[in-house]
Amino acid sequence: MSLGHVRTFRVAAADLNGQMRGKRLPRSAFDKLAEGSVRMPLSVQNVDIWGADIKDSPLVFDSGDADGVLLPTDRGPVPMPWLDTPSALVPMEMYDDRGTPFPGDPRHALKSVLERYAMHGWTVRAGIEMEFYLVDDSGAALLPPENPQSGRPLQANAILSLRQLDAFDAFLSAVYEACDDMEIPAQSTISEAGLGQFEIDLDHREALRAADDAWLFKALIKGMARKHGMAGTFMAKPLENEAGSGMHVHFSILDRQGRNIFDDGGPEGTILLHHAVAGCLEGLAPSTLVFAPHGPSYDRFVPGAHAPTGAAWAYENRTAALRIPGGSNAARRIEHRVAGGDNNPYLALAAILGAALIGLEDGLVPPPPISGNAYDMDLPQMHGDWLTAIEAFERDPLIERIFPGQLIRNFALTKRQEMARISEVPPEQHWHTYLETV
């Protein structure tokens, strides 16, 4: 976009929780961004969910809280249509003074995984399904939103209901218009299983761009919901008796000639697809902390919340953690259905694609695909609690093959601090912390 009549703009990079950290700058500063004119403490990408420094973090105490350099990504400035004043956001990445990517930057972690794919001559394309809730947060507890047409709170589930989509037409139309302005490829929208729950699909594109889309889309939904008198949230399970929200990632891999390496001309897919599936299955338990990064994330891992937790794969079976959708053979792909909506898209895609790459490089072989209801089967499970997930992420050798050591340490320290602090907050008040931060 052209900055045009924008008088000030924002610059922001993603921290480990996926929150935007950055600055507001005058229009005159825009032309100097590529020169490294914007500096920010490296530790800012390693603050907790409340924005507090991490106790005993080596970024603060060993390095003296040194500055890093923010440089713009190739996205360029994007509008912020949920604000009343014309505004723009420039997505950024963190580097040190030598121009070396900061290993604690989650976007760099994904880039590093994708660079390993490129060494094989492969390009990853990903499409992401984003589930979220619209809620009324005006009282002591979260409630479903009011129906904009009737003014009464929603009282009935409306999965795939056109009537409910029409009731929220003003909000959804504004979201689509904003997606067009921000070049986020929003596709279909459905009314999901929960009261006030929706899903919007973001179209397939190069995986790093897809993660950027998801990161920006979260900010868009939260901002646009406020503009329409509601709160938008990607919490994994904001309403106790309703379905959880996930982020489903569809991905395929193209070779140098643009051919899908998963396509064998039939429904089963190639041996390379099977290797990638096996890697993803191996990565489920070690990556639990990435897919369920917050205390309330584990509320989603209950029967009926549409959250697969068992390590299984299947063809056209939505109860499995990994699903191979039907349809065109040329579009053969893997759907990874585990991550909660409250994750950091850069870390989630790095974990998913990193595990798939390990499966491809090591020639891993998956167990047979399942049939039937995965929830009724005795399957290897993801970790079921926050502390176990932290400990596994810290020490698992598969994680060490995907993420840099500094990011592993930073993320574990961050989650340990958050776990200690949130334990002092009554559970019924946890939503005050997570409603719009995740």
What HEC string does 262-314 produce? CCCCCCCCCHHHHHHHHHHHHHHCCCHHHHCCCHHHHHHCCCCCCCCCECCEE
Question: Is 255 a residue whose pLDDT tops 70?
Answer: yes
> How many other C-beta atoms lie within 10 A of the C-beta of residue 359?
24
CATH 3.30.590.10 domain extents, the chain:
113-434
pLDDT, mean of residues 172-197: 93
pLDDT, mean of residues 225-251: 95
Q: Considering the entire predicted model, what is its pTM?
A: 0.96
Tens of pLDDT, residues 89-134: 999 999 999 999 999 999 999 999 999 999 999 999 999 999 999 9
Cα separation of 403 and 398, whole Å?
Answer: 9
9 close to 58: Cβ distance less than 8 angstroms: no
pLDDT, mean of residues 388-416: 97
Closest CA to 351 of 407, 309, 302, 297: 407
Please tell me the CATH code under which domain 113-434 is placed: 3.30.590.10
pLDDT of residue 62: 57
pLDDT of residue 61: 52
pLDDT of residue 160: 64
279 close to 362: Cβ distance less than 8 angstroms: yes
pLDDT of residue 204: 97
Question: Is 156 a residue whose pLDDT tops 80?
Answer: no
With cut-offs at 50, 70 and 90, classify the pLDDT of residue 69: very high
pLDDT higher at 66 or 229: 229
Torsion 7-212-199-230 (CA) sign: negative
Gyration radius of the chain over CA positions:
21
Report strand pairing: 197-206 vs 123-135.
antiparallel
The secondary structure of residue 182, as a DSSP letter, is H
pLDDT higher at 303 or 355: 355
pLDDT of residue 3: 74
CATH 3.10.20.70 domain extents, the chain:
8-102
Cα separation of 293 and 296, whole Å?
Answer: 9
pLDDT, mean of residues 370-389: 93
Please tell me the CATH code under which domain 8-102 is placed: 3.10.20.70
pLDDT of residue 6: 84
